[in-house]
Amino acid sequence: MAVDITITLSDVEYKAMTVIAYSPQEWAENVTKVRAQKAIKNIANDIIQETLAAGGSISGTAEEIVAAADLQTAQEITDAVDSTPPE
């Protein structure tokens, strides 16, 4: 599954982006993909360490490990924290 993410920039924001990037579109795509790859690596490493610490075994690429994992989204984690009553 692939997901398209669209952003809207004001004229001034776009103008500023054209000063720092040859192609603002390519820049936005690249920075997002690089950050996603970093997250995949970190998430996979966490899963591997937890699995090995529990005495289990694991195989697959980082992408396969993350794709197969049951993960909470940042929004789900934040909502759970926000709904926890203070002690």
Q: Determine which of 12-16, 27-31, 44-48, 80-84 has the lowest per-residue pLDDT on average.
A: 80-84
Element (H, E) at 62: helix 62-68
What is d(CA 23, CA 31) in angstroms, rounded to the nearest whole number?
12
pTM for the whole thing? 0.82
How confident is the model at residue 1, as a pLDDT? 84
- What is the count of structural domains for the chain? 1
Q: Say if 20 falls within a structural domain.
A: yes
Residues with Cβ < 8 Å from 9, sequence gap 6 or more? Answer: 17, 24
Q: Say if 4 falls within a structural domain.
A: no
Find the domain containing 77 and state its range: 11-81
8 Å CB contact between 47 and 69: yes
How confident is the model at residue 27, as a pLDDT? 97
Q: What are phi and psi of 64, to 5 degrees?
A: -65, -40
Q: Say if 6 falls within a structural domain.
A: no
What is d(CA 76, CA 84) in angstroms, rounded to the nearest whole number?
12
Q: Say if 87 falls within a structural domain.
A: no
In this prediction, residues 41-65 reach a mean pLDDT of 97
Widest Cα–Cα separation across the chain: 55
**Structure tokens of 44?**
């996979």
Q: Say if 60 falls within a structural domain.
A: yes
Q: Say if 5 falls within a structural domain.
A: no
